Amino acid sequence: MYDLGPINLDFNFSDAAAASYNGPQSQYLGLKYNQPLYSFPENQTGHYPTDLLWYDARGKAPGSSTPTSAYFDSAGLISLRSVWSNSNALFAGIKAGFDTDVAPYGSTHEDLEIGSFVFDALGVRWATDLGYDNYGLGGYFIPNPWTNPNRWQYYRTRAEGNNTLVINPSADGGQTSYGTATITNFKSSSSIQQAIIDMTAAYSQTDGNPSNKVSSTTPVTSDKRGMRFINGVAQIQDEVTASSGVDFNWFIHTQQTISISGNVATLTPASGTSRLQMTIQSPSGATFKTMAAKPLRTSPDYLTFTTDGETPNTGVNKLWIELPSTTSTRVTATLAPYIQGNTPPAPPAVTALNSW
């Protein structure tokens, strides 16, 4: 229920698709626990043969008494939503929790995606997750980073192929496959929806790769990401410290057209009047760049991306913030949805995550 966004697109982390899928188990759970809310998603997204056994006609949309946002520790998932039953609502699904090799939860369907998110507003998915790749790729289900080939040699499974950070890009996957992230703050009220995750364990180690079979520590000593909805604006903030200078990279994938003017990016869909203004509030002087949704030059599939069977990311653009040689930074960006011809809503002030 919380994974399904206001425009009937799922938060499709790991090997999943954004298009709504049949979830007949929700009907069963609605009946078993006498919770019509649990049956609602299946009633929205279609039907399945098991509905003959479990169909629950009582399935109803969440009402004002149902919290709009929630987090799930065991799965490491966060869902932020401004309001129920409104296709224009703000919605974000955020991945905390764990990467592939974290027992007992990780699986070979996980990506190196801690901190990644999707974002919907005004009936548009602005920040998209690319989802699964070609299951026939060599080594696609082999998470051992020292094996050639392995899962972390492909764009969509790597940190750079998700809406998260890449620190010191290399042939490694961008996060350790043993990485975890703790949900350290969560609030949900009529005026604010927010969550903070500590991603340090995902970025303070690196796994190595087939050419460098060494696991080692990185300079990262602290890495925290927060997101909050205030007054119709989403604000995302990263606070990173390192013992020596690192190359900080911040990425978002979108299927919308991007235009950039310094620290402001405007996203425009192919049709309609919905718009998104993204603004870098901090650090001063930081600007947006754009690039194709394809591997960095340091990535193992940089030269083979178009020929090795990976799914081409047709129609996907990528926003990029790069801060080279940084030891301490606070990167704050706002996502302000608005209707063409109107003024985007004003962003909240920048404050430290520990004051949220």
pLDDT, averaged across the chain: 93
Q: Is 205 helix (H, G, I), strand (E, B) or coil?
A: strand
Predicted local confidence at residue 170, as pLDDT: 96
Contact 79, 188 (CB under 8 A): no
pLDDT tens for 130-142 read: 999 999 999 999 9
Contact 220, 279 (CB under 8 A): no
32 pLDDT higher than 90:
yes
Distance, CA of 276 to chain centre: 17
Does residue 104 have a cis peptide bond before it, meaning omega lies within 30 degrees of 0? yes
* HSE of 236, CA atoms in CB hemisphere, 13 A: 23
Dist CA 264 CA 280 (whole Å): 7
Dist CA 218 CA 222 (whole Å): 11
101 pLDDT higher than 80:
no
pLDDT tens for 317-332 read: 999 999 999 999 999 9
Looking only at the bridges linking them, the beta strands covering 233-254 and 220-230 are antiparallel
**Region of poorest pLDDT, from 103-117, 126-140, 214-228, 298-312:** 103-117
Predicted local confidence at residue 132, as pLDDT: 95
Predicted local confidence at residue 3, as pLDDT: 87
Share of the chain above pLDDT 90, in %: 78
Predicted local confidence at residue 103, as pLDDT: 53
218 pLDDT higher than 90:
yes
Q: What are the angstrom distances between the C-alpha of 182 and each of 192, 226, 241?
A: 21, 12, 17
pLDDT tens for 34-85 read: 988 888 877 766 677 887 888 888 887 788 789 999 999 888 899 999 999 8
CATH T-level assignment (fold) for domain 68-355: Beta-galactosidase; Chain A, domain 5 (2.70.98)
Which pTM was predicted?
0.95
Q: Which helix (H) or strand (E) element contains residue 203?
A: helix 200-203
65: which residues sit within 8 A by CB, 6+ positions away?
none
Mean pLDDT computed over 239-264: 98
Predicted local confidence at residue 181, as pLDDT: 94
Mean pLDDT computed over 294-302: 97
Q: Is 27 helix (H, G, I), strand (E, B) or coil?
A: helix
Share of the chain above pLDDT 70, in %: 96
**Domain ranges within the chain, ordered by starting residue:** 1-66, 68-355
